[in-house]
Structure 1
């Protein structure tokens, strides 16, 4: 069975089904435009209020950069949802939507600015891990300094390389922890699973994959919920 959806509109009612000569099933849905328009407008206005409150909290109320980043991350998700609602509104309101105070680019700029206010000291037992973390932080726009109240620690926990059916496998986990002075602000762990036909390449492939994913891991860590 193959299904496809172009746009989901809440409130639509399927009034008829039919099957063509190729056996494909079609459905006819109808949507009352004015009630749908009202629902979308209410949802958009609610999202606008949520976005404004989150940005206000991040800019004024948040007591540390991590709390601000978490609020901005939620604001970005709300903005994406809001934009989708506005597209739906334009479908049922003859192209007339509601202008937004913000857009995704504006929220992304706020996130980049917030990342730039977070000086971080990187610590790791493995010098290569430390270097990888510093590079990933730089890609995010985070300043790395010799001493800071915020300390990022990286840990790897890898099992020995194993061979299965001619392939060499490396499995384990990668853990990041952010501390503010002696308090753990955020801590997350991600699985590692890579393979290579050459035993000498499996470690390199693991490093390449980690370097590719590290900026995303770090943003996830830095924007996680915190007090």
Structure 2
């Protein structure tokens, strides 16, 4: 997570400058304060999280202290996030796409920022050498309350997405997309619960987990019947293979259809290599109405011009699963 983003967000609460102005600075005392090396003497670890920052001015030292506290607070959570998202990529039919991965990281960062909203700069000190030190303190109870509130809200959001998927979605793809979003919300929730357990030793039980939602996604996919259409027979087969890998039934004629189309320029010769450049588009329609359409850049090269079409076919076959995952699970685009 980017420290600067967190700091800017925290500064909007104006706590940093107010705290620095209101707390004892110790600027006239040449003796190094105990809190720089042993903050737990005044702020026991059982009740507080603490971190020290230093800089050439007092405001910057306070910002660094907050950033250091955030680092302590979130380092293990970032590792858990990577482990969890990688597991979902490997075990899930839809995985964690680029779009949902970006959303996950942003949501987890937001949750972390909210958790430390109660942080204060309790002490500052100007050393004889002109270096400022600042002590950031976060009460564990305050952080626990913030995280608990966030977890309750995330559970409510999950319930709303599942309800939309089951009772309100206008088509099968929107239904699956809502379940994917619900699963990702629960991943964020799991990280917030991990933070809560780190803070006070216990989390908040949940009735539905990301794993349970994953099962709902697989059931929805298995209930689908989709036909494929494309420029060439090889592309049709690639689409059919990709759909099968998602657990979808492939049919010759179905109310839902995935169509593929390559938009490629004429071959160009550059430094003894032939190049094909362009894009590949997939669209998905239900009862003749396009639901979503996505496009990806593509290029292939070969020493022999006759090999370009074969290389293009191989490239599309290799990437088709990823393309279909994004088409079905990312937010619809037209």
Q: Provide the residue aligned with 1:22 in structure 2.
A: none
Aligned pair partner of 2:204 in 85, 89, 98 = 98
Alignment counterpart, residue 155 of structure 1, candidates 261, 273, 281: 261
Distance of 1:27 and 1:68 partners within structure 2: 50
Tell me the TM-score normalized by structure 2: 0.57
SS in 2 for 1:120: strand
Could you say which residue in structure 1 is the equivalent of 2:233? 127
Question: Residues 189-217 of structure 1: CA distance to partner in whole angstroms, max 9, x if unpaired?
Answer: 11113445666665544434433332232
Distance (Å, rounded) in 1 between the aligned partners of 2:171 and 2:195: 37
Structure 1 position 112, deviation (Å): 1.3
Alignment partner, residue 55 of structure 1: 162
The answer to whether the 8 Å contact 2:235/2:316 transfers is: no
Aligned to 2:188: 81
Range with bigger deviation, 149-158 or 212-221:
212-221
Larger radius of gyration: 2
The Cα offsets for residues 148-171 of structure 1, whole Å up to 9 and x where unpaired, read as 111211101112333434544331
Alpha-carbon distance in 2 for matches of 1:96, 1:194: 53
Q: Deviations over 1:57-111 (max 9, x none)?
A: 2223334211211211110121111111111111111x20112222222221111
Is the alpha carbon distance of 1:90 and 1:192 closer, same or farther for their aligned partners in structure 2, counting shifts above 3 Å?
Answer: same
Q: CA RMSD in A?
A: 2.9
| Structure 2 residue aligned with 1:66 | 173
Q: Relative to 1, partners in 2 of residues 1:59 and 1:165: Cα closer, same or farther, differing over 3 Å?
A: same
Distance 1:170 1:202 in 2: 7
Gaps of 5+ in 2: 4-67, 78-111, 125-132
| Paired residues of 2:231 and 2:262 also in contact (CA < 8 A) | no
> How far apart are the structure 2 equivalents of 1:209 and 1:173?
12
Match of 2:316 among 194, 207, 210: 210
Shift of the 167–57 alpha-carbon distance from structure 1 to 2, 3 Å rule, reads same
Q: Which has the higher helix share?
A: 2
- Asked whether the 8 Å contact 1:174–1:190 carries over to 2, the reply is yes
Number of corresponding residues = 216
Cα distance between partner residues in 2 of 1:225 and 1:51:
19
Identify if the C-alpha distance between structure 1 residues 105 and 197 changes in structure 2 by more than 3 Å, giving closer, same or farther.
farther
| Runs of at least 4 residues off by over 6 Å | 14-17
In the superposition, the TM-score normalised over structure 1's length comes to 0.82
Q: Which residue of 2 aligns with 1:43?
A: 150
Contact 1:65 1:117 in 2 (8 A): no
Cα distance in 2 for partners of 1:126, 1:14 equals: 65
Measure the CA separation in 2 of the matches of 1:121 and 1:219. Answer: 16
